[in-house]
Each structure stands twice: as C-alpha cells, then as structure tokens.
Amino acid sequence: MKVIMSGNEAIARGAYEAGCKIAAAYPGTPSTEILENFATYEGVYAEWAPNEKVGFEVASGASIGGARSLTTMKHVGLNVAADPLFTMAYEGVNGGFVVVTADDPGMHSSQNEQDNRLFAPHAKVALIEPSDSQECKDFMAEAFDISERFDTVVLFRTTTRVSHSKSVVELGEKKESTIKDYSKNIEKYIMIPAHARKKHYEVEERLNRLKDYSNSSPLNKMEILDDSVGIITSGISYNYAKEVFGDKVSYLKLGMTYPLPDKLIKEFASKVKKLYIIEENEPYIENAVKVMGIPCVGKEIIPVCGELNPEIIRKAILNQEVDASYSVDIKAPSRPPVLCPGCPHRGIFYAVSKYKDIISTGDIGCYTLGMMAPLNVTDTVICMGASVSAGLGMQKARNMAGANNKVFAFIGDSTFFHSGITGLIDSVYNNIPIVTCILDNRTTGMTGHQENPGTGKTLQGEVAPMIDIEQLVISVGIKKENLRVVDPYNLKETEEAVKAAHNSTEPFVIITKQPCALKKEVIKYRANMKCRILPEKCKKCKACLRTGCPALNYRNGVVSIDKNMCNGCEMCKQVCKFGAIEKVGE
C-alpha cells in the first residue's frame, strides 16, 4: 500500500515495521511528530520524558534489556543527551538502538544552526541520512540492523525539510521481533575506567568494520550519467541537486555518512572530471574528501550559513538565476512573532515591565516572546533551563558591580521539568535571591501542546499523576512566604506578587497558573468571552496598547478590539483607568 507521509511519520512507521518496541523523547521541532505517530501503533511503548537526556537513557536501558529502542530529539537536544551518547558508544547495544537527531538548517525554530553530523565521528557511532520520506521509512530498518550487527548506537540524522515535507511512501509489513534475553555483563555495561579502556579498542575495531560496510552499503550509491561533472551529496541536498542538474551530471548519493565510504568516494572521483560537494552547513563531507587528497569544490561557493535550495545551488555552480514563476505587486507586511491574544503569560510580563531595575533572563518557549515590544522584558535567552541558572550568575555579577538590579528568571512548566529544577535548587543552596517565575500553562506550548509531567496524561493518553509544581518548589527549600501562586489574568494579584518578589532578599518563586489560550478546550470555553471599547469613554491614552495584545488596534485615532481575536482575558479592561473597556459574553 502506498500513502503520503511526512518524513517524521515515515520514521515512526519505519521504526514500527523494524520491530522497535520502546521509544522515549522530549518534544522539539522538527522531531516532535515522530513520537506522536509512533505512539499510535499497537504493541509499543512510547513516552514523553522530562528531557532528552532522560529519554536517551530510557531508550538505552530498553536496548540493554533486549528491546529495539528509539529516542528522538531536535539538534540542540543531542547536546543535552551527549553524556549518555558517548558512553553508550562504548557500551554498545543488545536490542538495536537508533537515535534520531533532527537538525534545523536555517534556524526556523532554533537558537543555533549546529550540524550534528559532527557528533558521529566525535562519539564514533554510525551515521545515516535519508533524503525523503520513503528513505526515512526504509533506512530505519537498516539502522536497526546495523545497530545490532555492529553492536553500536546509530545516529539517524534528518533536517527540517526532510522531517516535514511529504512524499509517497510504500508501506511494508511489520517485522516480528522478540525482545532478546538479557545476560549480566559488567565489562560491557559498566563503564568504569578499567572496562572503558578495553572497550575503546573495540570501538576502533568496530569503526574499521563499519567503514568496510559503508563502502558496500546499499545506502550509498553512484549514479554515473555524465563524466564531466560529479556531485557528492546527502540528505535533502541530493534532491536540490537533482532538481538543478537532472541527468546532466553524475552523483554519489551518501545515505551512510559515517564512517564515510572512502573507497567508494575515490572510485567515484576517478570517474568524473570535476567534483562538487553539495551539503548544508558544515563542510563535513568536503573536509573528508579533501583529506583524501581529492580535488573538489564545496564551501568556496556553497554557503555555510542557512539552508540550501535549488536557486542557491544553481547560482553558485552555474551562475544562473531563474526568475520567479509569478510575482505580486503587494509586499506582505512584516509580522514579527508575538504572544497570542489572551496569552496567560502577558499578565506577568506586563507587571514586570513597569520596573526599570529588573533584568529578565528568559528561556526556550512561548515566553521568549516577552522580549517583543511593547513589553520589552526579556534580556537573555540561552537554552532550555538556562533562565534560572544564568539568572544566578547575572545576579551575582550585578551585585559585585555594585548595581541594584533584581533578576527575574522566566521559565515554563515543561521547561522547568526539563532542566529548570536544578537551577532553582542552586538558588536555594547558595542563597541567591533571584525570582524564578514558572509560567504554568498546562502544556508544552511552542512545540504543539504535548503532555508533560504536570498535565495529568501520558503521551499514549493514559491518566498520570500530575506533578505539583508548588509542592516541588517547597520541597527544594523555597520558603512558603517566598512563594506566590497567581492567576495571571488577575492583574492586581499578579502585580502584588511581582512587588513582593522584587522586594525579597531571599530566593523567591512566582507560579502563574492559567492554561494556554490555544488549547481546544480553552478556545471552546472562552468562545463567547469578548471585550469591547466604549468610544464615548475612551481617552485615546493608549495604555491598553502597552499590553502588547494583537487583538488591540489603533488606527486613524481610534482604539478598537478585533472580536475575532479577543478571548476576553480582560487584561486591557484592567489596565484602562477610564472604564472605557467592558467585557461582553460569558
């Protein structure tokens, strides 16, 4: 049967067909849909873990226990999971173990553009790269087979375009796989130095066998069409190159990119007169080819920054530009990202924005948008959980400089579970009086409303205990008098909490509790709740506009509220001093 699938859907299907039994991950674009789809298949276990490291370790344990296992993450997630990756590279597997890293060239939803192909030679594990949805499915089976055959973790690298683009996929039958027996083997599975020293030799010997396999692997193939130009490429770049050059050049398409097939590369290079390397971001393949002493052209003309497309390749190699197939006379206005109408995060950001001595350390999530005008609150964003940890360093640095700044760290519920807890413990342990603001909107918002340890449901829809953030905060040492739990739609309550936190000389926590405005049940509940302007009372002071709500407009000297966007949160009503805004509907 043939169906249309995204790359992520096909990866999930491929894992299922390959007999994968257990998968664990933390959601992160562009990888999220893999686990969401895998969880729907019968006879499998899938979970959202608190972070990528935990997800990796759950899958590691499942592999050692004999089950084929999978973990998935976006590229920066592998940084979080790097610790167990490097050790599992030594330990090897029992059941096959595949790690999906979904890279994000162009940084559509990421804070950096790292190329995770470089993890494979660093950790010394096999690396596989599909170029379309069919290969996403088919290569998963090969990845699990390689993992078990060579006793290795396999890194399975996709990119945003591969993950999210859709193409026809021919489905196969599920491979019946049993969970292997587990036998205690401390030299294999306990990496004390004495064991690790021996394992390192095994890893190097395994790499030699993997290189031999790569040279004959069906994942790597030559297409000899014209000997004047040859192109070595992989992943989505292969599709771009094919679109530009068609059958006018020869290709070496690499599906197994670590260890690179040195003999195959040399053979291909000998068959063409001029060689180009087309790859996104780092010159990973190019550097290896040049180390072999093979002349080639790559990053001299192909950009390192951003994702590629056929137009960039055509301009770089052929010096040709193709006019757009259509044009429009109207230019779309700039639409910077903003907090949604009715977003519960807006209340606390508005309250904090009134203080000029506050430095706000932000985190990865919707609340990053506290940086946007007119709120202009957020000062820094580094990575998941860093708002709290970096906030500690920021507070210490400003104190040592003699400044009177107060640090507020903003973090969401899912991100707090991910890696914010340890920073809060640090603030208590070292008595650093920052304010940790945990914005609990009852979901993992920016990646599409996934469950987390505080939502009361698992990935597979089972009822689960709801981790109580308030009790958790108290348990790590925050004093009850230094904790405020507020409804961020209640501006007076929120402002009072911010004032108390600002004046505190001890570690302080504010928890805002209100579900994401985009959750289906919230939209349904608030469908008839709206606010409207009373023109006869409006003084046009524009105070309401300082909340940054997109539903509010000021045109031709008139303030208005878009009823199609408004969800009746009433923040603008609370800000207005003249009673010019009223709520309608219940």
Is residue 479 within 8 Å of residue 500, measured between CB atoms?
Answer: no
Over residues 529-544, the pLDDT tens digits come to 999 999 999 999 999 9
Q: Where are the domains of the chain?
A: 2-216, 221-318, 346-522, 527-584
Considering the four listed CATH numbers 1.10.230.10, 3.30.420.40, 3.40.50.970, 3.40.190.10, the one that applies to the domain covering 346-522 is 3.40.50.970
Is residue 508 within 8 Å of residue 435, measured between CB atoms?
Answer: yes
Please tell me if the domain spanning 2-216 has the same topology as the one spanning 346-522: yes
d(CA 329, CA 103): 35
CATH topology of domain 2-216: Rossmann fold (3.40.50)
CATH topology of domain 527-584: Alpha-Beta Plaits (3.30.70)
List CB contacts of 382: < 8 A, sequence separation 6 or more: 111, 390
- Output Rg (C-alpha) for the chain, integer angstroms: 27
pLDDT of residue 142: 98
- From first to last of its 586 residues, the chain has per-residue pLDDT tens of 999 999 999 999 999 999 999 999 999 999 999 999 999 999 999 999 999 999 999 999 999 999 999 999 999 999 999 999 999 999 999 999 999 999 999 999 999 999 999 999 999 999 999 999 999 999 999 999 999 999 999 999 999 999 999 999 999 999 887 899 999 999 999 999 999 999 999 999 999 999 999 999 999 999 999 999 999 999 999 999 999 999 999 999 999 999 999 999 999 999 999 999 999 999 999 999 999 999 999 999 999 999 999 999 999 999 998 876 677 888 888 888 899 999 999 999 999 999 999 999 999 999 999 999 999 999 999 999 999 999 999 999 999 999 999 999 999 999 999 999 999 999 999 999 999 999 999 899 989 999 999 999 999 999 999 999 999 999 999 999 999 999 999 999 999 999 999 999 999 999 999 999 999 999 999 999 999 999 999 999 999 999 999 999 999 999 999 999 999 999 999 999 999 999 998 7
d(CA 498, CA 182): 54
pLDDT of residue 446: 86
Is residue 77 within 8 Å of residue 52, measured between CB atoms?
Answer: yes
CATH number, span 221-318: 3.40.50.920
Over residues 14-57, the pLDDT tens digits come to 999 999 999 999 999 999 999 999 999 999 999 999 999 999 99
Residue 48's Cβ-side half-sphere holds a number of Cα atoms within 13 Å equal to 31
List CB contacts of 245: < 8 A, sequence separation 6 or more: 229, 231
List CB contacts of 356: < 8 A, sequence separation 6 or more: none
Amino acid present at 316: A
d(CA 266, CA 340): 54
d(CA 48, CA 453): 9
The pTM assigned to this predicted structure is: 0.94
- Residue by residue, DSSP assigns 466-534 as ---HHHHHHHTT--GGGEEEE-TT-HHHHHHHHHHHHH-SS-EEEEEE---TTSHHHHHHTTT-EEEE-
d(CA 270, CA 135): 28
- Here the tokens at position 19 are 């007999």
Over residues 321-362, the pLDDT tens digits come to 887 667 788 888 888 889 999 999 999 999 999 999 999 999
